[in-house]
A and B are shown apart, each in its own frame.
Chain A
Amino acid sequence: MTKSILLVGVGGQGIILASKILSEGLLKLGYDVKMSEIHGMAQRGGSVTTQIRFGEKVYSPCVGSGEADVLAAFEKVEAVRWLHQLKEGGTLLVNDYEIYSLPVLIGQEKYPEGIIKELKSRVENVKSFDAGKIAVELGNIKTQNIVILGALIKALRLDTLDWADVMKEYIPPRLLDLNVKALAAGMEI
């Protein structure tokens, strides 16, 4: 049975790296994998999504409305934006973290309040956490993506694989220890 995962967030949050590590791990687990990423116009600050599908044989890389088994939102407004992609009964992972978009910054639009409460009232399986705080406690805010990846791996019940071994292909040696810790912290959420 093919599973579909959608990762959403903001340019600069490290979503593409997290998706690459996950795809490589799925490959090691023997799945056929398709991953698709969209480069928008902005290097930083725009909406970013990646889609990962895995199973025995996968054809299309695309996830549609109501099709994502897991939706991992690296920023909470993005969880709202992409909520319609979540499959009925699917799992929503949401990082309780705010990044104001420019229309919010300049006062054209408002950043909504009560997002987590609203999501929990709508979706049965929601896990919310503050990956930014966990990353800062570990010593580097930039490992936020790996904390979320840890939570995602746990939600997919793929934590039996040696993920440190997968990560070393993507992360420079001096940062590997820190990221292994971040992944473990994410799995414990």
Chain B
Amino acid sequence: MKKILTGNEAIARGAYEAGCTIAAAYPGTPSTEILENMAKYQEIYTEWSTNEKVAVELACGASIGGARTLAAMKHVGLNVAADPLFTIAYEGVNGGLVIVTADDPGMHSSQNEQDNRRYAPFAKVAMIEPADSQECKDFMKHAFEVSEIFDTPVLFRLTTRVCHSKGLVELGERTEVGVKDYQKDIKKYVMIPAHSRVRHYQVEERLNRLREYSNNCPLNRIEWGDKKIGIVTSGISYSHAKEVFGDSVSYLKIGFSFPLPDKMIKKFAKAVDKLYVIEENEPYLEDFIRTLGIECLGKEYIPCCEELSPEIIRKAFLPEKDKKVYDSEIKAPSRPPVLCPGCPHRGIYYAVSKYKDVVAVGDIGCYTLGMMPPLSVTDIVICMGAGISASLGFKRASMKGGRDEKIFGFIGDSTFFHSGITGLIDAVYNKTPAVFVILDNSITAMTGHQENPGTGKTLMGEAAPVIDIESIVKAVGIKAEDIRVVDPYNLEMTQAAVKDAHEAQEPFVIITKQPCALIKEVQKKRANIYCSINEEKCTKCKACIKTGCPAIAFKNGQIVIDRSMCNGCTLCAQVCKFDAVEKVGE
């Protein structure tokens, strides 16, 4: 049977058909839907782990325990999980272990454009790269086999266009492989120096065997066409190249991309007149080909920045003349991402925006958007967890520099569990007088609403204990008098907490509690609540517009609130000095 599936759906299907029994992930665009889809198969235990390091460590344990296991994350997530990756590379596996990394060329929803193909040679693990949905499914089955045959974790590398593109996939049946027995083997599974030294030799020897395999592997194939031009390519870049050059050239299509097939590349290069290397982002293939002493055209034609497309390839290699492109005199106004109407984060950012001596360090999540005008609060964003930890360093620099900035670190509920707690402990231990705002909207929102340790539900839909953020904050040593728990829809309460925080001389925590406005139950509950403008009272002072709510507009000389967008959070009503905003419904 054929079905139209996204790459992520096809990966879930491939893992299912391969007999995978355990899967763990932390949500992150563009990888999130892999685990969401795996959770639909009863045969697989799936979980949202607290972070990517936990997910990969769990996967290592499950693999050693004998289960075919998958861990999935976005590219930056693999940085968090790099520690276990580099050592499980030495230990190898028992049940097959596949680690999926979903890179984001073009940074549609990411803070950097790192090319995780570089991880495979660094960690010395096998790597597989599919080009479309069908390959996502087929290669996943292959990955589990390679993992077990060669006793190696396999890095399964995707990009946004592979994850989020749909294509036809021929479905197969699940092969039940069961869970293998576990045999105690401390020389393989206890990495003390004496054991690791021996394992390192075995890793090098494994690489030799994998290299040999790569040269004969069905995942690497040559498609002969005209031999004037030969193209070496992999992943989505193959699909783009094929779109541009069709069957008019020869291809070396690489699916098993570490170790690279040296003999195959040499044979291919010898047979063609000119060698092009078409790849997205880093010159991963090109660098290797040059080390073989082979001349090729690559990054001098195709930029390493941004996402690759057929258009870029065409412009680089087959420039067209005078193609007509429609244009317009009218310039489209920009449409940046914004905090949604009714977003509970708006109140706290509005309150903090009134203090001009605040330096705000943000984190990864919807609240990154606290940097957008008119709120314009956030000054610094680095990575997940840095909302707290980077605040500590900035505060120290500010103190050493004799400045008196107030440092506010912002983090979400899921991100607090992910890597915020350690930073908060650091703050207490080292007595760093900064303010930490934990924005608890009871969901992992930006990736599309995933459960987390604070939501009371697991990925598999079971009820779970709710980990209480306030209790954690108290337990790590923030004094009770330095904690405020507020409803961010209540502006007065929120402003009072921000004022206390601003005056505090020791580590201080504000927890805002209000669920994401887009959670289905919340939408249902608030469906008939909205705000409207009393035109007689409205002076058009635009104070409400300064909250940055996309539901409020100044149109045809009037302030209007779009009822279909408004959820009646009443922040605009609370900032109005003329009582001109009225709440309708309960």
Q: Which residues of A come within 8 Å of B, CB atoms? A: 10-11, 20, 23-24, 27, 32-47, 58-62, 64-67, 77-78, 80-81, 83-84, 86, 88, 100-112, 114-115, 118-119, 122-123, 141
Contact = CB atoms under 8 A, between A and B. Distances in A.
A39 B369 contact: no
B338 A102 contact: yes
A101 B373 contact: no
A118 B328 contact: yes
Given A66-B324, A83-B326, A61 B165 contact: yes
Nearest to B549: A105
Nearest to A71: B326
B4 A41 contact: no
A105 B333 CA distance: 11
B30 interface: yes
A115 B330 contact: yes
26 contacts: A27-B4, A32-B167, A36-B161, A38-B108, A39-B448, A41-B368, A42-B369, A43-B446, A44-B340, A61-B161, A61-B167, A61-B239, A62-B240, A62-B243, A64-B309, A64-B311, A77-B335, A83-B327, A88-B323, A100-B550, A100-B555, A102-B338, A103-B373, A104-B553, A105-B548, A105-B554
Contacts of B161: 36, 61-62
B337 A42 contact: yes
Given A40-B108, A43-B446, A44-B518, A102 B325 contact: no
B366 interface: yes
Contact of B333 (A35, A84, A109, A122): A109
B334 A103 contact: yes
A9 B368 CA distance: 23
Contacts of A45: 335, 337-338, 340-341, 550
Contacts of A78: 332, 335
Nearest to B167: A34
Contacts of B328: 80, 83, 118-119, 122
Contact of B332 (A27, A64, A112, A122): A112
Contacts of B311: 62, 64-65, 67
A73 to B, nearest CB: 11
A78 B30 CA distance: 24
Contacts of A58: 167
Contacts of A44: 338, 340-341, 518, 550, 565
B197 interface: no
Contacts of A88: 323-326
B329 interface: yes
Nearest to B340: A44
Contact of B29 (A32, A39, A102): A39
5 cross-chain pairs, A with B, having the tightest CB-CB distances, nearest first: A64-B311, A42-B337, A60-B243, A101-B335, A46-B337
B335 A46 contact: yes
Interface of B is mostly: loop
B87 to A, nearest CB: 33
The interface size bin for chain B is: 35 or more
A23 B166 contact: yes
B326 A123 contact: yes
Interface of B: 4, 29-30, 108-109, 132, 160-161, 164-168, 236, 239-240, 242-243, 309-311, 314, 323-338, 340-341, 366, 368-369, 372-374, 445-446, 448, 518, 542, 545-546, 548, 550, 552-555, 564-565
A104 B446 CA distance: 24
Nearest to A64: B311
A84 B161 CA distance: 21
A41 B165 CA distance: 18
A103 B333 contact: yes
A101 B336 contact: yes
B314 to A, nearest CB: 8
A40 B109 contact: yes
Contacts of B329: 118
B108 A106 contact: no
Given A101-B338, A105-B548, A118-B330, 17 more contacts: A20-B166, A33-B4, A34-B167, A36-B165, A39-B448, A40-B108, A42-B366, A44-B565, A45-B341, A62-B309, A66-B326, A100-B553, A104-B333, A105-B552, A107-B554, A108-B373, A114-B330
Contacts of A27: 4, 168
B220 to A, nearest CB: 18
B460 to A, nearest CB: 23
A86 to B, nearest CB: 5
B310 A60 contact: yes
Contacts of B327: 83-84, 122
A106 B338 contact: no
Given A112-B333, A123-B326, A59 B239 contact: yes
Contact of A102 (B108, B324, B550): B550
Contacts of A123: 326
A27 B166 CA distance: 11
Contacts of B446: 41, 43
A58 B203 CA distance: 40
Contacts of A118: 328-330
A131 B82 CA distance: 50
A183 B400 CA distance: 65
B518 A37 contact: no
Nearest to B30: A39
A182 B191 CA distance: 64
B331 to A, nearest CB: 7
B313 to A, nearest CB: 9
Contact of A38 (B160, B323, B331): B160
A44 to B, nearest CB: 4
B64 to A, nearest CB: 35
B373 A106 contact: yes
Which one of B4, B372, B552 has the greatest number of beta carbons of chain A within 10 Å?
A: B4
Contacts of A102: 335-336, 338, 372-373, 548, 550
A41 to B, nearest CB: 4
Contact of B240 (A60, A106, A114): A60
Contacts of A34: 132, 165-167
Nearest to B564: A141
A111 B333 contact: yes
Contact of A42 (B332, B334, B338, B548): B338
A33 B518 contact: no
Contacts of A23: 4, 166
Which one of A11, A23, A43, A58 has the greatest number of beta carbons of chain B within 10 Å?
A: A43
A54 B310 CA distance: 16
A110 B167 CA distance: 40
A116 to B, nearest CB: 11
